[in-house]
Amino acid sequence: MRAAVWCGLVAGLAEGVIDLTMAHYHVPAILSVSALTYPFLFVAVGALVWLLTAWLHCTAHRAAVFAVRDRITSPLYIESYRIAPFKPRCIDVNVILDVMIHDIDLILSLVNAPVESVDAVGAPILSASEDIANARVRFANGCVATITASRVSTKAERKMRIFEPDSYIGIDFLNRTVTIVRKGKAVPGAELPEIIAATQSYEEVDALEYEISAFVDSVRTGAPPLVTGEDGLKALEAAITITDSLRRNRERLLSDMAAGASRAQRR
């Protein structure tokens, strides 16, 4: 997290700062409020000295969503799956900060409402921290999101489905396709309205080049970055809330299991 200190030292000279830490954004596995200290300072310093800040860890991932953003108006339910085989990297942090945070950022940008409640489950499988997690997130506007992340799967899959009152949008990040299904006009004599479906592909981009180009464009034109420092901070806050819920639930489960075993022994 040296970006915050570096940012303060060069603030007088820099027009913009690219924070590459979020590309490998890992805080200690034992989380506390202090985990937010450095990213918060980075955003605050950027605002105070009129720096353009941008968290780049999610910029490329948002490319597919921006392609259909104008079609998404009032999501009711969102589900995402981001799973992959185990790789011996980043095991110093849990799967929420390593993998799930990308989908957290995307979902927060789509819903655009405060998180109201979180209920999460998960467990460590091959590392000391959680390797698989599932979170049910309810937002203040009524939208609900179910987010699943795993780094111990037998296959790779990165998909998101967005349900609205009259449409469904499915994004396949690995195959780079977007499927849109929506209700059409009523069909005379039919029980169901016309169903209109279309699948389109989007171009593969070099993630690092895309992120840096987007940032440089923001510096030159003054346009808002695709992912701001505030966006990154919100995603991190949500990730920590999910982690806290997961660990509370696991402690409660282990306590209940221990109590049940104790009762069984006394019988």
Q: Is the Cβ–Cβ distance between 104 and 193 less than 8 Å?
A: no
CATH code of 213's domain: 3.30.360.10
Please give the pLDDT value at position 169. Answer: 94
Contacts of 142 (CB under 8 A, 6+ apart): 76
Classify strands 195-201 and 132-139 as parallel, antiparallel or unpaired.
unpaired
Tell me the pLDDT tens digit for each residue of 99-111.
Answer: 999 899 899 989 9
Nearest in space to 160 (alpha carbons), one of 83, 245, 230, 97: 83
Residue 207, classed as helix, strand or coil, is helix
The total number of residues shown for the chain amounts to 267
Q: Is the Cβ–Cβ distance between 22 and 55 less than 8 Å?
A: yes
Please give the pLDDT value at position 33. Answer: 40
Please give the pLDDT value at position 63. Answer: 64
Which residues does the chain have with pLDDT short of 70? 1-67, 205, 207-208
Strand (E) or helix (H) holding 7 = helix 3-10
Tell me which residue range forms the domain holding 22: 3-266
Q: Is the Cβ–Cβ distance between 198 and 167 less than 8 Å?
A: no
Please give the pLDDT value at position 61. Answer: 57
Q: Is the Cβ–Cβ distance between 71 and 169 less than 8 Å?
A: yes
> Given the structure tokens 């992340």, which residue do they identify?
149
Please give the pLDDT value at position 78. Answer: 97
Would you state the torsion angle of the CA atoms of residues 71, 73, 75, 81, taken in this order, to the nearest 10 degrees? 40
Give the global pTM: 0.76
Please give the pLDDT value at position 119. Answer: 97
Number of domains in the chain: 1
